[in-house]
Amino acid sequence: MSEKISPQLFKLEPKIRYVAVNQNGAIVEMEQSPQHPTYNPHETDRMEELIVNPIVLEIARRRGNIDMNGMRYVIIRYGTQYQLLIPYREGHISIGVELDDDPMEIARKVAEHLKLPM
């Protein structure tokens, strides 16, 4: 991956709070937008990106591949924000979004920007 994705996405959509990129099981980017303070410790984000999100995506992908024409993304609604998980190359992109914002619209913008299927 030559160019960082997080600055592109923060510029594309200022409503994005957080961006992480996991490739081949390693976090290659994990950035909080300067416009939005974090809601939780950095270490819990790290564990989420290494353990939780890959598992969530894998089980959703397996189900989608049975007879639903795959899986495009997963939205998790936490108490403080939405977490948008999008398969990307050899891993995923994780995007934090405010509860007042539309995670489906942001998923569409991100997918279009990164030329991902939607």
* pLDDT tens, residue by residue, 57-110: 999 999 999 999 999 999 999 999 999 999 999 999 999 999 999 999 999 999
Q: Is the Cβ–Cβ distance between 28 and 1 less than 8 Å?
A: yes
User: What type of residue is 25?
Assistant: G
Average pLDDT along the chain: 95
From residue 83, alpha-carbon distances to 2, 31, 66, 67, 88 in Å are: 25, 14, 24, 25, 15
Q: What is the pLDDT of residue 56?
A: 98
Q: What is the pLDDT of residue 60?
A: 98
> Sign of the C-alpha dihedral, residues 34, 39, 42, 48?
negative
Which residues does 54 contact at the CB level (< 8 Å), separation at least 6?
A: 22, 25, 91, 92
From residue 21, alpha-carbon distances to 3, 16, 50, 67, 86 in Å are: 12, 14, 10, 28, 10
